[in-house]
Amino acid sequence: METLWLMPALACYVISAMIFVASRFFGRTRASGWATMLLGAGVVLHALDLTARGLQAGTIPVANFAESLSFLAWLTALAGLMIIVRRQMAVIGAYIASAVALALAVSAVMMHGARLVIPETLRSAWMPVHVTLAILGYSMFVLAASTSIVYLVCESRLKTKRAIATPDDPVPSLEKLDRINYSLLAWGFSLLSFAIISGAIWADATWGHFWSWEPVESWSLAIWIMYAGLLESRLTAGWRGRRAAALTIVVFVVLIGSFVGINLMYPGKHGGSFG
Amino acid sequence: MDQSLFILGVNHRTAPVAIRERLAYADAEVVAALERLRRRARALSEAAILSTCNRVEIIGVAPDVAGAFDDAAAFVAEDRNAALKAFAPSLYRLEGRDAARHLFRVGASLDSMVLGEPQILGQMKIAYARAAEAGTVGLVLHRAFHRAFTAAKRIRKATLIGHGSVSVSSAAASLAGRIFDTLSDKTVMMLGAGKMAEMTARQLKSKPIKSLVISSRTFDHAAVLARELGGIAVPFEDYRPHLKSADIVIGSVASTRPIVGPEEFEAVIKERRYRPIFLIDLGVPRNFDERLNRLENVYLYDIDDLGQVVHKSQAEREREAARAEEIVELELESFWRWMNGLDLVPTIRDIRYSIDRLRDLEMGRHRGWLKGLAPDERERIDLLTRGLTNKLLHRILQGLRKSGNSAEGAYTAEVARKLLCDELGVSSDELDALEDSTADAIADDDRADREDLRPDIGDQIGKK
């Protein structure tokens, strides 16, 4: 299905990403205000696209990988926008907007093709809850990874004494980046936990068993354990700063690998016949 | 009566502090001094005194500049009770365009001891306000100061002249801001109580910090400083237990080898649970082993690293200064055109605005019964009033043009502007809002001339 809004939304994201990257590169901090506004415009247009799809499907539009990816991109853009505006974190804009633009572009390319309809048996009130929790959780991990990249860049500049090149560059402090990373991880972890629980309840209601060890379930559990370990190490061993940032990125790479890999290798396994 | 701008003064380059402090005026003395100056130096028609740590200047306007220089210099000697001979070699005398350029450069902090420092603009604004209070500001100083303020603001906005840290202590503080979000829950520790360490601690303390621990080889010294800065003094033998709670450590101990090495510090880091720590090493020889920088979440900057920050900022400011000078020249050009009466455009624009405002006000007052008229009648009244104001404006403009492109012309225009604008209560803010429309003003003026020569307005009314 094609909607009017997808391409304009993608254009907004792409231009926003380009301005964000350019403003970092040339040190023109005022330009990032425009980039933020474009990101916001992209979120609005993208929301219209999702609404149109949702109205047509009669439920949230996540019938295939392309649509799930689009939904993930939207939630990431929305949450990213909130962090950029409310926490004055324009510096992560370059990563967020690029990731969102890339995800939506991939989604748009894959969107062509036969549309799968969600089977009647799976239509349940649990579906939007489970899917939204899971994808919102993933979006938190995207943001946490972006924040961690910024952390590592800033940290290495400070260590190697190159931070001094632009002393008035409004880069957030390491402490702030670390704190934001932590709260994003905590949110992402909680959402993922609830997503797994709600998925299990839904599976029980539909098929009569909570857990069937299919790939998405297994990988979700593995990722859940990794994030649990990440949070645990911070709380007990005091792993913070560089180490925490590096691990956040590593776990995120595993997450992306499984998200993409499973959807390409085992399409249609998770939840039955669609996917 | 050609008026000329002049500046007589001493600054940090021409005079040592011994002379500058002798001649300096406290802010509270300036108004009285200007009043004395007006009585004493009759050759001056306008005057202001700018007195800061780095300069004492009399900025004045006089028809005879040579006489004004002598009068002003004699006044300063007398008023400050200093022998003219003692400071005469340090005095600079600038007039005309050079004086204006100097004023603009001072305001833009291009003549400051620390290039780009922000205080000078505020000091200059106060100097202007004091002169206005003393009643020694006239048309020329009013314009000169305001153009200097505008130039300074433009330069702040368009260049990076005020950016970066230009002292070791501010460089350290700005680096602390890149590591920590806030210092209000951080402990600062001073090992050694050297002068530069003290300045750095003061700089960090300019925003709230949780606590300050001072330890020095001479305990008394640490205790005195702790009392002064509001911290706690710790004997030098006992500082180690405090190390784990310190987030920023400033080292300035005289020691032939590092007082803190990586092995023992690793234990401290673990105890701190890897919370970041910022080590500022101001000691020569260095207090902290350079390998500490390789430890996780430890950021070590020694005196050379900080010096490099300062050096880069200074180099950056100097690069920016070249761009700032260009802006000064542009602003100077526009001011100079006005000084020479070449530039009547802003004045004409202001007068036009005021007269249009007057018409609008009157039309507004009669809006009630005008509404009751037929549309064509209303239009005629509109044309009639516009015709009147255009005629009035034309008279004034012709008069101004006749007085020509001379300084006197500019004066006449300024007086006309003052009378009209002030009488009509047009605020200078409103006029500033028109500031950028100079080109439009010229175009408007030409169009107005053409309209004015058109007889049809009167004819139309007559016919109907």
B314, B115 contact by CB (below 8 A): yes
Distance CA A164, CA B165 (A): 9
**pTM > 0.90:** no
* A167 to B163: CB separation less than 8 angstroms, yes or no: yes
pLDDT at B457 over 70: no
Q: What's the pLDDT score for residue B453?
A: 37
For the beta carbon of residue A119, count every other beta carbon within 10 angstroms.
12
Q: Domains of chain B by range and CATH?
A: 4-158 (3.30.460.30), 168-307 (3.40.50.720), 341-463 (no CATH)
Q: Six-digit token pair at A46?
A: 């993208």
Give the Cα separation of B118 and B152 in Å (integer): 10
pLDDT at B423 over 80: no
Strand pairing class (B277-281; B298-302): parallel
**Which A positions 12-31 lie with beta carbon below 8 A of chain B?**
none
The residue to which tokens 């040339």 are assigned: A26
DSSP reduced 3-state for B168: helix
Q: Please state, in angstroms and rounded to a whole number, the distance separating the CA atoms of residues A258 and A247.
A: 17
In this predicted structure, the answer to whether residue B48 has a pLDDT above a threshold of 70 is: yes
Question: B293 vs A172: CB contact, 8 Å cut-off?
Answer: no
Greatest mean pLDDT among A1-15, B55-69, B157-171: B55-69
A160 Cβ under 8 Å from any chain B Cβ: no
The 10s digit of each residue's pLDDT in B240-254 is 999 999 999 999 998
- Choosing among B159, B181, B184, B295, which should be mutated to test the A contact, i.e. which has the most A CBs within 10 A? B181
**Structure confidence at residue B464 (pLDDT):** 35
| Residue A137: predicted pLDDT | 95
Q: What's the confidence (pLDDT) of residue A117? A: 63
List B187's β-bridge partners, or say none: B211
Say whether B53 is catalytic: yes
Number of Cβ within a 10 Å radius of residue B164 = 25
The shortest CB-CB distance from A241 to any of B171, B182, B296 is to: B296
Q: Which of residues A99 and A271 earns the better pLDDT score?
A: A99
pLDDT of the residue at A191: 96
What are the strands, taking DSSP E only, across B89-247? Answer: 92-95, 187-191, 211-216, 232-235
Q: Which of A161, A171, A183 to mutate to test the interface with B (most CBs of B within 10 A)?
A: A161
Regarding predicted confidence, which is higher, A155 or B343? A155
Residue B106: what pLDDT? 96
Check residue B432 and give its pLDDT: 54
Phi-psi category of residue B288: left, alpha or beta, with phi > 0 → left and psi -120 to 50 → alpha: beta
Cα–Cα distance for residue pair B261/B287, rounded to 1 Å:
9
Cα dihedral across residues A127, A132, A134, A135: positive or negative: positive
Lowest mean pLDDT among B7-11, B244-248, B269-273, B445-449: B445-449
Residue A46 has pLDDT above 50, yes or no: yes
Residue B400 has pLDDT above 90, yes or no: no
* Identity of the residue numbered B24: A
Of A245, A33, A261, the residue nearest A146 (C-alpha): A245
d(CA B110, CA B322): 10
CB burial of A141-170 (b: ≥16 within 10 Å; e: otherwise) equals bbbbbbbbbbbbebbebbbebebbebbeee
Q: List, for residues B92-135, the tens digit of each pLDDT value.
A: 999 999 999 999 999 999 998 889 888 899 999 999 999 999 99
Asked if B179 and A241 come within 8 Å (Cβ–Cβ), the reply is: no
Whole-angstrom Cα distance, residue B293 to residue B131? 55
Contacts 24+ apart (CB under 8 A), B415-418: B416/B347, B416/B351, B417/B347, B417/B350, B417/B351, B417/B354
The reply to whether A162 touches chain B by the CB within 8 Å rule is: no
A261 and chain B in contact, CB less than 8 A: no
Those of residues 92-121 in A touching chain B at CB distance below 8 A are none
Cβ neighbors of B462 (< 8 A, separation 6 or more) are none
Q: Closest-CA residue in chain B for A87?
A: B181
User: What local confidence, expressed as pLDDT, does residue A162 receive?
Assistant: 78
- A162-175 tens-digit pLDDT: 765 454 456 889 99
- Angle at alpha carbon of residue A82, lines to A80 and A87, rounded to 5°: 100
Per-residue pLDDT, B444: 44
Residue contact A174–B178, C-beta within 8 A: yes
Beta-carbon separation of B296 and A163 below 8 A:
no
Q: At what angle do helices A65-86 and A126-159 cross, to 10 degrees?
A: 50
What pLDDT, on a 0 to 100 scale, did the predictor assign at position A121? 65
Instruction: Give me the pLDDT at residue B6, please.
Output: 95
pLDDT of residue B456: 37
pLDDT at B30 over 80: yes
Residue B460 burial (CB count, 10 A) = 14
CB contact under 8 A, B299 and A159: yes
Catalytic residue among B17, B53, B361, B415: B53
CB B188 within 8 A of CB B209: yes
B336: pLDDT strictly greater than 60: yes
- Please state, in angstroms and rounded to a whole number, the distance separating the CA atoms of residues A153 and A147: 10
Q: A174-207 and A126-159 are packed helices; what angle lies between their axes, rounded to 10 degrees?
A: 160
Nearest to B191 by CA among B170, B210, B217: B217
Could you give the ipTM of this predicted complex? Answer: 0.85
Report the share of chain B in percent with pLDDT over 90: 43
Set of chain B residues whose Cβ sits within 8 Å of the Cβ of A172: 181
Predicted confidence at residue B448, as pLDDT, reads: 42
| Contact yes or no for B196/B253 (Cβ under 8 A) | no
Cβ pair B178:A242 closer than 8 A: no
Note the maximum CA span of chain B.
106
Residue B403 CA to residue B441 CA, distance in Å, equals 20
What is the 3 state secondary structure string of B296-326? CCEEEEEHHHHHHHHHHHHHHHHHHHHHHHH
State what percent of residues in chain B have pLDDT above 70. 86
Q: How far apart are CA A120 and CA B152, in angstroms?
A: 71
Q: What is the pLDDT of residues B64-104, one digit of tens each?
A: 888 899 999 999 999 988 888 888 899 999 999 999 999 99
Residue that wins the pLDDT comparison between A48 and B415 = A48
CA nearest neighbour of A63 among A263, A205, A221, A252: A263
A223-275 pLDDT per residue, tens: 999 999 999 999 888 888 899 999 999 999 999 888 888 877 776 556 543 33
* pLDDT score of B119: 87
C-alpha to C-alpha distances, A190 to A69, A195, A231, nearest whole angstrom: 21, 9, 11
What is the reported pLDDT for A268?
Answer: 59
Q: Supply the mean pLDDT for chain B.
A: 84
| Structure tokens given for B336 | 């100079």
Interface with chain B: mutation pick from A26, A154, A175, highest number of B CBs within 10 Å? A175
Q: Please count the helices (runs of H) and the strands (runs of E) in chain A.
A: 8, 0
Among A142, A153, A66, CA closest to A111: A66
Q: CB under 8 Å to B127, separation ≥6 — which residues?
A: B30, B48, B49, B50, B51, B59
Q: In what order do the strands lie in the sheet with B248-251?
A: B232-235, B211-216, B187-191, B248-251, B277-281, B298-302
Query: Could you state, in order of their start, the residue ranges of all structural domains in chain A?
Result: 1-114, 122-270
